[in-house]
Amino acid sequence: MNDSLKYADATLYRQLVGSLIYLTTTRRDLAYAVNALSQFLTQSHENHWLAVKQVLTYLQGTSDFGILHSDSFDVSLTGYIDSDWVGNLDDIRSIEGYEFSIGSRVISWCNKKKHTVALSLVE
């Protein structure tokens, strides 16, 4: 990263990203962006702050989006798994994630960056 960039207000950045992490329980469309922003909690620069502001602008325009949890109980199990291969060119490590739901209730989810660099999707 370019050292000439100014650092953002670390406390405010952490508070906003923390709030966005909490919001991803009902706004799954934010999960990837919030994951990317949370990787810079210790050294956030002005361009990271601008990205947080873009997410907040997106939230303002999509306030009617989200997951509605109802009282009806559906017992169907659903799972989603996804990964990207070299999605981040800075460290060329893959990110993978999964989510399992019973009805509309999420029972397990994970999103993590691989510790090693893979040369193919099979690895």
6 and 45 together in one domain: yes
60 and 73 together in one domain: no
41 and 91 together in one domain: no
Domain-ending residue, one of 49, 67, 85: 67
78 and 59 together in one domain: no
49 and 1 together in one domain: yes
22 and 58 together in one domain: yes
Range of the domain at 96: 68-123
Decide which of 5 and 20 is more confident.
20
Q: Is the pLDDT of residue 116 over 60?
A: yes
Residue 88 is predicted with a pLDDT of: 64
Q: What is the CA radius of gyration of the chain?
A: 17
- Number of domains making up the chain: 2
61 and 74 together in one domain: no
**Mean pLDDT within 104-121:** 73
Render pLDDT for 31-61 as a digit per residue (tens, 0 to 9).
889 988 988 888 888 888 899 999 999 989 9
Render pLDDT for 64-73 as a digit per residue (tens, 0 to 9).
877 666 666 6
8 and 52 together in one domain: yes
- Sorted by sequence, the CB contacts under 8 Å of residue 83 that are 6+ apart come out as 94, 95, 96, 97, 121
